[in-house]
Amino acid sequence: MTERAPRRVLSTRAVVGVLAAAMTVGVLLVVVVQRVGRTDSPGSAGPPQQQAAPRLHGLTRVVAGQRVTSIAAGNGSVVYGTEAGGVFVTSSAATPRRITGLPGRVVKLAFDPTGRWLAAASDRSELAVMDMAHPTAPVVRRPYQAASPVLGQYDLTLKADRLAVDSTGSHVAAQTDMIGIYDMRDSRPPRWLAMRYECSAADDIGFVRAEFVATFDSCANVWDASTWRMERQVFFPGSGHASVGPDRLVYGTFRHAMLLDYRATSPLPSASAVPGQPHPRLSGIIADKTISTRRSPIQPVADDGHVVTVLQSARLVFWEPATHRTLTTVSLPFPAVCPSVQKIKGPAQFTTSFSPDHKSLVITGYCPPPDDQPNSQKDEGRSLNGSWMLAYPTTGDNR
């Protein structure tokens, strides 16, 4: 291929001469002067560029001499729960301040959608709700339980593995063997939410305005939060993991991340309806993004309505559905596969917390001791732990 010679730039005198000649013969000429070395106009849009990756800030794993067992991101703050039952809050570089204490170990922390109310659960069957806007207000407490009398009788360290609180601070949802709704204003037994066999252990739960949503590996259930009647049951286009976002769900398979609309659905003729429950329907797909061509589980992390975050193999991927582009990625300083003496090594376990104001994200990684089976809680002191916080990426729409 012959190399093209660069165009010569016309001098000012030459341009004036050409225009004068054109006016003499009555011809209008349009002369374009090209600057050497410039191939696009100042206002033209080049190819989309990745954003700078947000910086990870390491979080402490010990507060007031107590090992941290749970972390939640608040509006401009971080809350720590400890193995001794302490609940501490800190902002910026301030020293953590103790809010309250629970019997046993703090296993879960959760903020309501506004960031005002904080719920905590311990492994000694106690719930607590704190008003973060009024630090001197009394902490509301009540016990929680298992739906099965047998489990409640013999499991002395009952553990809530999912927790959510509504925007009034009066209702807390806690999942043990089932999801129970606890009214923090009295001591009545919880309301146990009806389930189908296909939807029995929630990946995520959350209050979304007047609704309560629970996601599972293949479906999601939506209840009216005033009557606790199931409004809809939505199935996903496969099996994976899903999380509750702002009026939509983030869903991950082994290669794809999807945004699902649980309100815009289509009939699912093959599914059978359960008496007293709505007929199952298929969720609508808002957007679909291929995260990787290799098969590895994709864990939904966060969604602020503009930027979606998923986690795959210890790598955070920030995706903008409106443009279908990857904004940036962040690799966590943590192994994707846990070190182990076992022949088959288990994947690292990651938990995340997204602040109610959508400005910060907390990630915690965990690996059991190398000589223990995955999920074992024996000898936690030799387990591998790490926690980090980062500022959530912004676009022109969510600044």
Which is more confident, 384 or 29?
Answer: 384
Please indicate, yes or no, whether residues 105 and 158 belong to a single structural domain of this protein.
Answer: yes
Q: Residue 398's pLDDT is what?
A: 59
Q: Are 115 and 134 in contact (CB under 8 A)?
A: no
In a domain, 333, yes or no: no
Vertex 144: Cα angle to 351 and 75 (nearest 5): 45
Return d(Cα 233, Cα 273) in angstroms, integer: 10
Same domain (yes/no): 21, 83: no
Residues 191-215 pLDDT 10s: 999 877 677 789 999 999 999 999 9
Would you state the pLDDT for residue 83?
96
- Rounded to two decimals, the pTM is 0.83
> Which residue intervals of 193-290 are DSSP H helices?
none
Q: What percent of the chain has pLDDT over 70?
A: 81
Q: Looking at the structure, do residues 13 and 135 belong to the same domain, yes or no?
A: no
| Residue 217 identity (one-letter amino acid) | D
For the domain that residue 187 is a member of, what is the CATH number? 2.130.10.10
Expressed as residue numbers, the domain containing 179 is 60-192
Averaged pLDDT of the chain: 85
Residues for the chain: how many in total? 399
**pLDDT on residue 31:** 31
Which tens digit of pLDDT belongs to each residue from 41-95? Answer: 344 444 456 678 999 999 999 999 999 999 999 999 999 999 999 999 998 778 8
What is the residue whose two structure tokens read 């309806």?
273
pLDDT tens, position by position, 298-320: 999 999 999 999 999 999 999 99
- Residue carrying the six token digits 């916080």: 389
17 and 114, same domain (yes or no): no
18 within a domain of the structure (yes/no): yes
Output the pLDDT for position 306.
96
Share of the chain above pLDDT 90, in %: 67
User: 285, 325 in Cβ contact below 8 A?
Assistant: no
Query: Where is mean pLDDT largest: 6-15, 70-79, 336-345?
Result: 70-79
Domain end marker among 169, 192, 215: 192
On whether both 132 and 17 belong to a single domain, the answer is: no
Model pLDDT for residues 141-192, shown as the tens digit of each residue: 999 998 887 765 555 557 899 999 999 999 999 999 899 999 999 999 999 9
Same domain, 72 and 181: yes
Residue 380 confidence class, pLDDT cut points 50, 70, 90: low
Adjacent-strand bridge partners of 219: 235
Q: Highest mean pLDDT: which of 45-54, 224-233, 336-345?
A: 224-233
**Banded model confidence at residue 5, pLDDT cuts 50, 70, 90:** very low
In the chain, the number of structural domains is 2
